[in-house]
Structure 1
Amino acid sequence: MVPFTVPAWLPLLLLLSFLVAVKKVMESKKRHPPGPPALPLIGNMHQLGKLAHQSLYQMSKKYGPVIRLKLGSVPLVVVSSPETAREILKVHDTDTCSRPKLLGTGNYSYNYLDIAFAPFGEYWREMRKISVLELFSNKRVQSFRFIREEEVDSLVESVSQSAASKSPVDLSEKLLFLTANVIWRVAFGGSFEENKCESGVFQEKVNEATSLMGCFAASDFFPCVGWIVDRITGLHGRLKKSAKEMDIFLQKTIDKHEGKKVEEGKEDIVDVLLKIEKQQKEQGSVTLTRSHIKAILMDVFIAGIDTAEITMVWALTELMRNPRVMKKVQAEIREVVGNKGKVSEDDLEKLAYLNMAVKETWRLHPPGPLLIPREVISPFKINGYNIYPKTRVQVNAWAIGRDPKVWKDPEEFLPERFAGSSIDFKGQHFELLPFGGGRRGCPGINMGNTLLQLALANLLYRFDWKLPDGMSKEDIDMEEAPGLTVHKKTHLELIPVSCI
């Protein structure tokens, strides 16, 4: 009888099987949220696609409003309902109010987004306080009123010239130029047009910074080896170059403001920040440095230019696809304004239906479809699932706006759904989150909303709009462009017809 010999590899196989079983038991006890199976190393990255918010929306239909994925070695939880958004942004706001280190650095001078991306702590609280109380208070926003009205007048005049020649207007380009002009004057003072060379260069630098924010940084998701990839792809070099160029430009701008005497109430944002810095030095408690001032200025530009332009373009696009709504909005504006010749900011509070149309635009086309990621700092539960520290958490605002449990006929553009509704857009109603919510909500809400409503109201008051010859409303392209913010992929070109 041949003696039985145990293969040398069998104990190792049994040990591995035992370890896998133990791991499964431990994972089941952690009770993670459900989600699609992940591949080794890359996790679920291959399942996100170019438009991650849409891919995540489809996943939520299968796995529910709380799903968990792995992006490389980083755990990510995405919530897709008003109830779960409320849990993140209100109930567990303090547990999730930090930010992950993005672009593989942890050195926030790389992207100059201190307010938006700085980890939660004393520094962030100080910057937030300055933004809310000094830069974007109601009084400060009102002080910039003349800038908004002058720039909107200039936009209308430019469109009038196209109306006279019956030529199409690229509204995507015009509205981006409008918001850039306003933000330039608010932040730096002086005219965007008068500083055409400087402003053009700066706009290119802002575009590069925005592009970098949308890049995949391997070191974000593969900390041990990703930095090598970022250097091979050139991302690391682009980040350093972008930061250096931005630093030089902003330093020159700040130097020009040094010692400048400005009339009270006429200060631009650089003036305000330098005034705060001086006061802090006199009090012996400096928390605002030149680096912080530069970071705040970049926050203002990157957050301010894109969001207002995106909303205006999508609003006009939806109105062209829905002639009934277009006529109703225009009728309201023209009735309220009468023969005054233009819409003023005093008229805006009387334009209830326009306000509903803007809300409906934000529901279907939130500028940032996935709110900027948060990082968990304390464990908590949501829907019975455990969420652990170092997990990234994102709210899918785009999915919430299309939730059939919340919105009847969610794919239809129906401003009337907001008639008599208390739902607002300032972060307290979790069905509509164009500006986020909680401690990390956007401080510039009033500034952006006032500009976009003023511009829209004037364009709809002064002009009727036609599609280019041979084009019907069914031909309008509604495809989204990929990125952190969601632009209309193709530019919106319309023919204006003067009617006032």
Structure 2
Amino acid sequence: MIGDLIASPIHLIVLLAALWAVIWYFRRQNSRLPPGPSGWPLIGSLPALGAMPHHSIAELAKRYGPILSLRLGTTTVVAACSASAAREFLKHNDTNFLSRPRNAVAKHMAYDSNDIVWAEYGPKWRSLRKICAVHLFSNKALDDFRLVREKEVGILAASLARAGGVGEIVAVGEAVHCCIANALGMVLIGRRVFEDGEDAREYKEMVVEGMQLLGVFNIGDFVPSLEWMDLMGVAKKMKDYYRRHDGFMQRIIDDHACSSSVGLQGDFLSVLLRLKDDPVGLDGLNGKLTDIDIKALLTDMFTAGTDTSTSTVEWAIAELIKHPQIQKKVQAELDSVVGRDRLVNESDIPNLTYLQAIVKETFRLHPSTPLSIPRIASESCEVAGYHIPKGAHLLINVWAISRDPSIWTYPLEFQPERFMPGSKYEHIDVRGNDFEVIPFGAGRRICPGMSMGIRSVQLITATLVHGFEWELPAGQLSEALNMDESYGITLQRAMPLKIHPKPRLASSAYLT
């Protein structure tokens, strides 16, 4: 009988899957794994995640507790769904969860983990992060490029004013994405990336395709024995994407290296090329920065820097349209601080307390990365009394934490007042120290571009709210605005926000 089963490949797979499910079950009982569902043979709980994994895991946490374990394929995944659980992993046990799993994204889209996001924790990761921290994300670097960001936001405002003047309906996300990508392009490579032309169209298409691929739950990542089969066709798509994207990035590097007159003085690519030629102090890089390292860094900055900030701004504007009384209140603050004859500058932001509260509340209710990028346990350890085996993947449900009713009053409501001075939550920040709201993560692998992201979101949101009244297309009511989510590596709106901008400032304010 056993021989007949083994003779059939399908039967053999089913038998092995069943054996694995039994082994996993007893392993959980004997090793004090966090509680969680047993799942199906072979695939585990992958089907239970559905189209909205952050929702599904949050629901499971209500049954099993804030730290739960899932069997996804043959992989043990531990999910943290409360602020205290996240603190246990990312503060008290952070050093054991500093590396990433080797999945299809890391191999096929992140230059085989040669970037900041997916690189194994170690000397090379620290060296790459140091380069970005000094030359891109330091306060000095951010201040040096302040005028670049303000100029691009001014171009955005001017284009919206022209559209509003002729009654056009604008896709907010597309307009904001273009603005952020161009600002980043000027900082990173010394030129705007969304100008007219074939390169711009190619880049736009790749950005959309790349973000879609990054959000896929690939079965081969969780059942390594099936990885070679590429059952979902994900690896093939990622390899094709990598080929085109790598060629695009290489052209940028080659053009930049050949033309010393192109670009800003001190743009990031120029810095990287200088470091490549004069590799002093590049600890962890074997004394040399390669083209692969440079392309991987640029890819990280463009990918992480555009989509996350764009989605946050789009959610913020949608919430203000849905809550006109909040919009009027922040416009009154903006008019008082800035006036109505010019656009907002970054230097105005510290004086815009209510605007800052609106942005913070948007980060809470609509975190751009609802499930953290996975980490992996370097060694077996104990967390909150549970055994976490070596090689287990860790997910932090950022979305569930920021909607936890045990922490937040009226957690599903958009209430910027909760972060105003004198309120219960005024001390809570979004920079990784307060685990109740961690849109950028926490610990040593917190998002390195956090400060740039916050500055961009604050400035663009302030400009859009100050510069325009927003009207929905005819027949749509603000109170009935669709606020459904679409899951991906970033939390997008299921229905892109399309509205009519009506300029509310003096016409001279929109001149660029």
TM-score of the alignment, normalized to the shorter chain, above 0.5: yes
Deviations 1:348-402 (A, max 9, x none): 1111110100010011100000010000012222221111110000110000111
Match of residue 427 from structure 1? 432
Offset at residue 280 of structure 1 (A): 0.5
In the alignment, the residues of structure 2 paired with residue 441 and residue 177 of structure 1 have an alpha-carbon distance, to the nearest angstrom, of: 25
Contact 1:187–1:268 under 8 Å retained in 2: yes
Deviations 1:46-99 (A, max 9, x none): 110101001111111111100100110000000011111111111111011110
Match of residue 466 from structure 1? 471
In the alignment, the residues of structure 2 paired with residue 251 and residue 264 of structure 1 have an alpha-carbon distance, to the nearest angstrom, of: 16
In the alignment, the residues of structure 2 paired with residue 386 and residue 305 of structure 1 have an alpha-carbon distance, to the nearest angstrom, of: 38
Q: Which amino acid in 2 is paired with 1:240?
A: K
Match of residue 134 from structure 1? 135
Match of residue 247 from structure 1? 246
In the alignment, the residues of structure 2 paired with residue 181 and residue 333 of structure 1 have an alpha-carbon distance, to the nearest angstrom, of: 25
In the alignment, the residues of structure 2 paired with residue 447 and residue 283 of structure 1 have an alpha-carbon distance, to the nearest angstrom, of: 24
In the alignment, the residues of structure 2 paired with residue 348 and residue 296 of structure 1 have an alpha-carbon distance, to the nearest angstrom, of: 29
Q: Percent identity?
A: 38
Match of residue 311 from structure 1? 312
Q: Per the alignment, in what secondary structure is the counterpart of residue 370 of structure 1?
A: coil
Match of residue 7 from structure 1? none
Contact 1:104–1:217 under 8 Å retained in 2: no
Distance 1:50 1:193, change over 3 A: closer
Offset at residue 411 of structure 1 (A): 0.7
Deviations 1:305-350 (A, max 9, x none): 1011100000011111111211111111110002441111110111
Deviations 1:269-315 (A, max 9, x none): 21111122222169995242110000000000110110111000000
Contact 2:190–2:264 under 8 Å retained in 1: no
Match of residue 149 from structure 1? 150
Q: Is 1:196 the equivalent of 2:197? A: yes
Offset at residue 233 of structure 1 (A): 4.5
In the alignment, the residues of structure 2 paired with residue 454 and residue 26 of structure 1 have an alpha-carbon distance, to the nearest angstrom, of: 51
In the alignment, the residues of structure 2 paired with residue 461 and residue 309 of structure 1 have an alpha-carbon distance, to the nearest angstrom, of: 18
Contact 1:218–1:227 under 8 Å retained in 2: no
Q: Which moved more, 1:312-321 or 1:160-169?
A: 160-169
Q: Is 1:447 the equivalent of 2:449? A: no
Q: Per the alignment, in what secondary structure is the counterpart of residue 493 of structure 2?
A: coil
Distance 1:468 1:381, change over 3 A: same
Distance 1:45 1:266, change over 3 A: same
Deviations 1:120-163 (A, max 9, x none): 12211111111212221111112221221111111111111122
Match of residue 493 from structure 1? 498
Contact 2:468–2:502 under 8 Å retained in 1: yes
Offset at residue 468 of structure 1 (A): 2.0
Contact 2:189–2:263 under 8 Å retained in 1: no
Match of residue 9 from structure 2? none
In the alignment, the residues of structure 1 paired with residue 27 and residue 99 of structure 2 have an alpha-carbon distance, to the nearest angstrom, of: 27
Q: Which amino acid in 2 is paired with 1:434?
A: P
Q: Per the alignment, in what secondary structure is the counterpart of residue 75 of structure 1?
A: strand
Count the aligned residue pairs: 480
Contact 1:33–1:385 under 8 Å retained in 2: yes
In the alignment, the residues of structure 2 paired with residue 241 and residue 387 of structure 1 have an alpha-carbon distance, to the nearest angstrom, of: 36
Offset at residue 30 of structure 1 (A): 0.7
Structure 1 segments unaligned to the other structure (5+ residues)? 1-18
Q: Which amino acid in 2 is paired with 1:209?
A: G
Larger Rg: 1
Match of residue 181 from structure 2? 180
Distance 1:79 1:121, change over 3 A: same
Match of residue 277 from structure 1? 276
Q: Which moved more, 1:159-168 or 1:311-320?
A: 159-168
Match of residue 38 from structure 1? 39
Contact 2:45–2:72 under 8 Å retained in 1: yes
In the alignment, the residues of structure 2 paired with residue 199 and residue 188 of structure 1 have an alpha-carbon distance, to the nearest angstrom, of: 14
Deviations 1:96-119 (A, max 9, x none): 111001117746655777211111
Contact 1:111–1:243 under 8 Å retained in 2: no
Deviations 1:209-254 (A, max 9, x none): 22222234332111112311x1x64433322222222222111111
Contact 2:105–2:238 under 8 Å retained in 1: no
Q: Which amino acid in 2 is paired with 1:145?
A: R
TM-score of the aligned structures, taking structure 1 as reference length: 0.91
Structure 2 segments unaligned to the other structure (5+ residues)? 1-19, 506-512
Match of residue 381 from structure 2? 380
Q: Which moved more, 1:305-314 or 1:281-290?
A: 281-290
Q: Per the alignment, in what secondary structure is the counterpart of residue 382 of structure 2?
A: strand
In the alignment, the residues of structure 1 paired with residue 114 and residue 66 of structure 2 have an alpha-carbon distance, to the nearest angstrom, of: 29
